[in-house]
Structure 1
Amino acid sequence: MLSMAASSAQAQTADRKTALSGNVGLLQYRGNMGTDFWDRSEPDLEVGGGGTLSRYLSPTFDVALLGYYQTYKFSSEVRAGDNFEARVGMVDVGLKLKLNNGKILKEDFFIQPYLMGGGGMFLTNSQGRANGRNFFNQIRRPEVFALAGLRFRLSDAISLDLTTSQHYAFTERVDNLYGSPNDKLYDRFLLHQAGVTVAFGKMKDEDKDGVSDKKDKCPGTPAGVAVDPTGCPLDKDGDGVPDYQDKCPDVKGLAALQGCPDRDGDGVTDLDDKCPDVAGKAELQGCPDTDNDGVTDLDDKCPTTPAGVKVDATGCPLDRDGDGVPDYQDRCPDRAGPASNKGCPEIKAETKKRLSEATKFINFEFNKAVLLPSSYPTLKDLAAIMAEYPDYSMSIAGHTDSKGSDDYNLRLSYDRAASARTYMLSQSVPAARIESRGYGETKPVADNATAKGQAMNRRVEFDLYLTGDPNSAEVKYGAAPTIAELKATPAGVPTVKKAPAKKAPARKAPVRKRK
């Protein structure tokens, strides 16, 4: 049975994963009554049979469900008159190790050795005479087994197997004699088998050329095309172009040219080459293109177009928006604008005025970065401007007057600019197109010595600039501290510049009213 299981498993492949087997076998016994292991001198030959259902797991392993049945008789060699007759059944599950796994032997090698092991149930009705007493035992006990076998591959689907396995049932009641050496279970059986296995399944052959997909090196061969043993179409002139596709099947040519020659070596057959004596490009029917823009030199009106630039049929750079600025130089290729503004729409004067006046309407809570509701209409208007000019980015720069410590003013100016940016993000302005920074008290626009000047210096400025150009605030004021630098600045209560101690009583307003 085990050998059949092994054989069925062995017959299987990735194309034929399920197999059924039938086998004949011969049992031999070893126990307290004696043994006939490896001895068939008995005149009466008892044989049994079985079947196996197996499943392919991998080139190295299969799994099988095994069944075997035989009637077995034995007469004691130790005590005259002792004997038994057993109807033996075995049902097992086994895991098979195949040595023809492609690492030791090829999978399709004719002789394929294997090993198997597993366990199951030993089912026996045994009757006879032992120690002068008749007995009848019905046995249902677990067993384990080990098997060695040879498979002879007759075809992809059929195989012949010869195996020997030893079964160790966890019982001594087959011969009804107890007290085996060392008090161990002693009834064991050898099973010699020969069997035939048939593997089921259809070989995968998508192109139906008679070669399985697993072995087919050319799996897309059209129906009816003659192929070699590897599944590739025949090629009698050996030029790498199969005969059924070769326009010049009797003369070696180029694979790229369907097997035909090309005297100027430009990849275009001489028959199709408009410039057969000068190497050119296949897509230009064999003619040259000096600037590599896809238009032959003969038809190119702009023969010095830079490499990689898309051109029209005359070889001149594309200008989608028709503003006279070619797309490869146009910062806004889908919106018309003058060359002086890199091909982008210029900001209207009215829009510039809205931007410059916006700072007047941005207000915050005292000494904080919290926007007052009165600021919202202006910020919404700025968000609308951003939508109107999609090719522009916006810089938001915060400034303070000179009251308080430098570090505190720098942090407050940044936080206020960031607060304005956060609100505009809530109005669907893309984060990549808006940047905020703070300059503290370093960039005044008026004299901090007067209350009017201080009010003018406390401001948030909004500037548009073409995306990709330098930040407009940085152009006006230079680099601002980074976020990391701001975080590194110790936080704290603003330090207000104070008069000498003797004049302290003369201060009229508390410090908290200075921002």
Structure 2
Amino acid sequence: MNLRFLKLSALALGLIVSSETFAQDSVSAPLAVPPVFSPASSFSTWSFGINAGVLAPTVIAGKNDFTKWKADLGYGAYIKKQIWPAFGIQANFLGGKLKADNSRDWGNGTAPVSPYTNYETLVKYSASLNAYWSLANIYWMNRTNVIQPYLTAGYGWMGYDVDITNSAGTTRFNPEATVHESFIPVGAGLKFGLSNNLMLDLGYQMNFVDGDNLDGYRAGPQSDKFSYTHIGLEFALGGKTKPALSSYNPVAALEADYIARNAALQADLAAERARNAAQLAQMNTDWARFKMDSDGDGVSDYFDKCPNTPAGTQVDGAGCEIKVTNTTVNPVRVVVTEEDRRVVAEAIKNLEFDFAKATIRPSSYPSLNRVADLLKSKDFSLKLAGHTDNVGSDAANLKLSKDRAESVKSYLVSQGANPSRIEATGYGESQPISSNKTASGRQNNRRVEFTLY
């Protein structure tokens, strides 16, 4: 039995080594690393696997009721939900046959003492729910987790039939018919990433049955056990562009994010340096032009709109020649008559505003209309000076006087007068013509003066 066990162990080791080499040769590019803090929707979290391998009625350092166990074909499948990168829940199914006999001694010269010579157990089904730990995301600091060691442990229920042969050569079916027992599966293995949604699975699982009837022989108060060494494939369910969550390495994602951010920052700094260098070069060019006066006209090349001006030419601030036109214009003499002054005086006398406002009362319109006609017909200029009494603050009086003068100007312009020939100024209470101690004096001080010229 020990020799057979060693051979199967060597075979399993050979499969693992050869599969590892195959996986390394097959992965042409590392699996994609999604951005850091990616949501679960960025990954494939469901997967299923199929496998086949060696089913044997023994485990490492285990004791059996028969001296020589025989390897047989086992087959299995599972479906897995990955909860976190390093942890998932897996539902397993396993079937196959277990065989052993007493054709040799116990390895120490002691012959077996048993009423039975051999047995064959058909494992019709074994279903278990297992916790799955992916150790690559805990201990291995590689960027893409192409190789993932894992551990599993769980609890299950199985059903099996036993054919057992006694020392007289009589084979009988276990009188208990199909036996149902609970069992505890514990396993370990390696997975190799072949692509974003395909992995090669190599594993070894020990199964501890809660009973001593797996071989049909109740030899004592001990539990039977069996092992399953398998090779298989795991397929991630989901889009082909989504990597399996079990392959995600948070440390690698943080590193990739840091590298990307650092590269972007370096690119920004390089671009900023290039912009600064270009601006500095332009500034040096402009400064050279600013200091240079190629045509000697006193205007630097930077501002010179008319370069290459002949020496001695009188130029303006843009460096262009000043052209003098000898045209004599006969000035028009403006004469203000007594009638003109009477019209203005009447307008001053009749000018009224709303109380404490700059709104002209309609009763003032006729006399202001005559002033507007005078300005249009004789092309006079007019200065309007607003004044107030000392009631109120200085700032308020100054504003009111300015607003009233502007109000008169606006009215005259609305009647067709030239706005460029009307100046409106406010003096507030600063230029009284009567005492502000009496009502009549304050009335005189509240005025708008008209000056024709």
Q: Which has the higher helix share?
A: 2
Name which one, 1 or 2, has greater alpha-carbon Rg: 2
Task: Please say whether Structure 1 and Structure 2 have the same fold, judged by a TM-score greater than 0.5.
Answer: no
TM-score by length of 1: 0.37
Pick 1 or 2: higher relative contact order, CA cutoff 8 A, min separation 6.
2
TM-score when normalising by structure 2: 0.42
